Structure formats: C-alpha cells, structure tokens
Copies of this chain bind each other. A is one copy, B any other.
C-alpha cells in the first residue's frame, strides 16, 4: 500500500500565510503620518511588490550573484521611494521600513490551521524570504513551524527546482511525501513538476484591487481547500 498522505507540508508564505499588502500599507501609512513624510505609501507598497519577481528573476538568470530577499527589497525600496514622493528618511528609518517584511500579519485561519496540521505533519514555510525573515515573521505572528526553509538555504529562488527538491532532500523524504501548499497556482505547478504533492487555497484579496489571478485552482492539485483550517480538516486534523 502506498502512502497517499504527505509526511511534510511546506507553505508559500507571502500572500498564502501572511497578508503582506494589508500589513505593510497599514504599518507604513501610520509610520509616514507620525514622521510627516507625505507621499503615497499605498502606491509604494504595490510598486515594491511589483518589483519582487523581476528582482528575483535577475538572480535566477545569473545577472546578479546570489542576493538575499532582504537585500533585493532594500535595493527596490531605495529606487522607489522618490517616485512616490517620500523623502527625508534617515538610514535607521530605511532599515526599519525594509524590515516591515518581517512584521506581516497572518491571515486569520493561518495560526489555528497550522497548529492543527502540526499535530500530524512536519510543517514549515518554503518561501523566497531568507531564513531570518521567516523566523522573525513566525515570532511576530505566532506561526508554529517545525522548521524554516528560506531560499538562502538553497541559494535559489522559487520556482527553481533546487528549492522544492532541496526541502525533500533536507527532510530525507521522497518528493512525493512532501506537499507544497500555496495560494499561487504557478508555485504549485513548479512543485508538481518536481514530484511534490500540492494543495491550493485562494487568497482573493492578496493584491487588493490589483488582483488579477489565483481566484481559483487552475491545475490538478491533490487538495483544494477554502483556507488552511479547511486544509487541516480535509487532512483529518
């Protein structure tokens, strides 16, 4: 009899587990008001996230050597701030703003759903964030990971296969006993091509008014759930 259940479940994090957009807009708008900086903080946050994939793609194509996500975020921030009318910040402010990606609120179902899943499965994030970012996010949001898989463990960003296969190698599991869980169909497709199991749940407000995709599962995923608590229920937790 073959196992039809995973032994471990790894979660995409930005958007799938934590609400990066709502968290950053709320925190940075308040920061701007307190400091009287002016500027369009909501526009900054959306542009900052829009710079995320192109900046990682430069690493993935070899145009940049391996660079941690914190450092890619900082380079994008420095370039974008003037475009959104934000100026006059000290270096310590810029460090604080950049570390906003370490202080993102989990979606309401995340902590209770993960706690249920942890009772039966090894759980961890598999994110493009660096390990320190993911550890800080977990402390901030009370995420009960068993261990943390940052992209810096592999020197690769998703969807490079080194990330998905690297998790299976480190957990000493066949890829088919590891399940990737995400609100992003393209992440699951890349994981599935590496032999991992897959679970989808939608986060239809992740990008606010700019959401263009991922309202529903569009692949043959092993599980399709409403959210992480529903995934736990489907897995008998």
Using CB atoms and an 8 Å cutoff, list the residues of chain A in contact with chain B: 70, 122, 130-132, 134-135, 138-139, 145-148, 150, 152-153, 170-173
Question: Are B131 and A147 within 8 A (Cβ)?
Answer: yes
Question: Are A172 and B130 within 8 A (Cβ)?
Answer: yes
CA distance A95 to B153 in the complex (A): 28
CA distance A153 to B150 in the complex (A): 11
| A146 touches which of B138, B172, B173 (Cβ 8 Å) | B138
Shortest CB-to-CB span from A66 to chain B, Å, is 12
Question: Are A170 and B147 within 8 A (Cβ)?
Answer: no
At the interface, is chain A mostly helix, strand, loop or mixed?
Answer: helix
Question: What is the copy number of this chain in the assembly?
Answer: 2
Question: Are B131 and A150 within 8 A (Cβ)?
Answer: no
Give the nearest-CB partner of A143 in chain B: B146
CA distance A132 to B171 in the complex (A): 5
CA distance A152 to B139 in the complex (A): 24
CA distance A148 to B131 in the complex (A): 11
Residues of B within 8 A of A171 (CB): 131-132, 135
Residues of B within 8 A of A122 (CB): 135, 139
| A152 touches which of B134, B170, B173 (Cβ 8 Å) | B170
Give the nearest-CB partner of A134 in chain B: B147
Shortest CB-to-CB span from A169 to chain B, Å, is 8
Q: Among the interface residues A135, A138, A146, A148, which one has the most CB atoms of the partner chain B within 10 A? A: A146
Question: Are B172 and A147 within 8 A (Cβ)?
Answer: no
Residues of B within 8 A of A131 (CB): 147, 170-171
Residues of B within 8 A of A147 (CB): 131, 134-135, 138, 145, 147-148
| A170 touches which of B70, B132, B146, B172 (Cβ 8 Å) | B132
7 nearest A-B residue pairs (beta carbon): A132-B172, A147-B148, A131-B170, A132-B171, A135-B147, A147-B147, A135-B146
A170-B131, A171-B131, A172-B132 known; A146+B139 contact, CB < 8 A: yes
16 further A-B contacts with Cβ under 8 Å, apart from A131-B147, A150-B170, are A122-B135, A122-B139, A130-B170, A130-B172, A131-B170, A132-B170, A132-B172, A134-B147, A135-B147, A135-B171, A145-B147, A146-B148, A147-B147, A148-B148, A152-B170, A153-B153
